[in-house]
A = this chain, B = another copy of it.
Amino acid sequence: MEINFDEIQVIGFDADDTLWVNETYFRDAEEAFADLLEKYETKNKIDQELFKMEIKNLELYGYGIKGFMLSMIEAALELSNNQVSQSTLSEILNLGKNMISHPVEILEGVVEVLERLKGKYRLIVLTKGDLLDQERKLERSNLSEYFHHVEVLSDKKEKNYQDLLDHLEINVKNFLMIGNSLKSDVLPLVNIGAKAVHVPFHTTWQHEEVAEPEGKSGYMTVAKLTDVLNYL
C-alpha cells in the first residue's frame, strides 16, 4: 500500500532487528539454556516454560536482557525442581553477560539509508529495550552521529508513542516510524495517525507476532530497508 511521505519531518527508527541484529542472540541464548537443562526436560518443554516465565515477569521487569536473565534463573530453578546446580546457574548468568557484551552487527543497508536521510529529516532512535544497553549499542555501532537522540519507551503501545510525540512537540502527521515489528513499530503508529514502514526481520519473538490486518492504510511493507529510499 502506498502512503504519502510529503509531510514527514521526523523519522523514528526502531533499533533491535531494524538497525542491528538482536533476536538472533536471544534465540542462541535460549538454545544454550535448553542444553544446560537437558537432563530435566525436553528442549521443547524448556522453551515453552522459559517463554511462559518471561511473559509472567514482563509486567515486573519490562523488556531487555536483564529481565531475560532473571527469568532464565527462575525458570531453571522451577524446571529442575530446585535441582539445577549452582555452577549451571553461574553459566546462565554468563549467557546473559555475553549477550550484553556482544559486538554490534549492523544490518544491511542501514548506513546507506542513514547517510541519505541525514540532514533531510530529524532522525531519532526509538526502542523499548534497556536504556544503557541501547546507548551502548548505538555507540559501538558508530551510528550516533546520524541521530538527534535516543528515546527508550517502557512499551510501544499507542499511549507511549502519543506521549512521546506530545513531549517532543511533533505533530503525528509529520512523523514516520521504521521498524521490524508490525505489533510494536507499525500498528500503534498508524492507529494514532502517524505513518510507518515495516521492514520484516527473519526472526521474530513469539510475543511480537501479530496477524497482518487487512485493508489498513498508513503503512507499507518493504522487502529491505534501502527500499525506503525510493520514497524519502
Residues in chain A within 8 A of chain B (CB atoms): 60-62, 66-67, 69-70, 73-74, 77, 80, 82-87, 89-90, 93, 96-97, 100-101, 130-133, 135, 148-149, 152-154, 163, 167
Tell whether, in the assembled complex, residue B86 and residue A73 are in contact, meaning their CB atoms are under 8 Å apart: no
**A87 contacts across to B, CB distance below 8 A:** 82
Closest to A153 in B: B131
- Of B77, B82, B149, the residue contacting A167 (CB under 8 A) is B149
- Of B61, B90, B152, B154, the residue contacting A66 (CB under 8 A) is B61
Tell whether, in the assembled complex, residue A60 and residue B149 are in contact, meaning their CB atoms are under 8 Å apart: no
Q: Smallest CB–CB gap between A133 and chain B, Å?
A: 8
- Bound: A111/B48 CA distance, A: 46
- Jot down 16 A-B pairs with beta carbons below 8 A, ordered by A: A60-B101, A62-B130, A62-B131, A69-B70, A73-B73, A73-B89, A73-B93, A74-B90, A74-B93, A77-B89, A80-B86, A82-B87, A83-B86, A131-B131, A131-B153, A148-B167
Tell whether, in the assembled complex, residue B154 and residue A131 are in contact, meaning their CB atoms are under 8 Å apart: yes
Q: Smallest CB–CB gap between A140 and chain B, Å?
A: 13
Tell whether, in the assembled complex, residue B148 and residue A131 are in contact, meaning their CB atoms are under 8 Å apart: no
Tell whether, in the assembled complex, residue B167 and residue A152 are in contact, meaning their CB atoms are under 8 Å apart: no
**A85 contacts across to B, CB distance below 8 A:** 82
**A130 contacts across to B, CB distance below 8 A:** 62, 130
**A80 contacts across to B, CB distance below 8 A:** 86
- Bound: A87/B133 CA distance, A: 30
Q: Smallest CB–CB gap between A170 and chain B, Å?
A: 13
